[in-house]
Amino acid sequence: MAVKVIVPTPLRQYAGKKDSVEVNAKTVAEALSSLTTQYGDLRRHLFTEDGKIRSFVNVYLNDEDIRYLQKELTPLKDNDVLSIVPSIAGGASLAGGACLECM
């Protein structure tokens, strides 16, 4: 299935400066794996060392939070859109808008 993954501004520097990437995947897990295979630097920003999505990273499938669907096992279909949304917390910002957790 051809799926569009929206890359948030703070993470674009790790995805070849692209705002979106098209991947072929049957599940959210496959889509994120494909994305991080293409752009290895993204892996540490999206996943913990044991391979789980970081707690401050939210993933939406067509505007629905995957935590309320089937999480990473949520099935995908052609033309679905996955959005990666890192939580930004605190009152101080870094130059360039990068989040502290993403560093």
Q: What is the mean pLDDT of residues 15-23?
A: 97
For domain 2-102, the CATH architecture is Roll (3.10)
pLDDT tens digits, 21-52:
999 999 999 999 999 999 999 999 999 999 99
pLDDT tens digits, 66-97:
999 999 999 999 999 999 999 876 655 555 55
For 51, the token pair is 């391979």
Task: Report the pLDDT value the prediction gives residue 1, as an integer from 0 to 100.
Answer: 79
Task: Report the pLDDT value the prediction gives residue 54, as an integer from 0 to 100.
Answer: 93
Global pTM reads 0.82
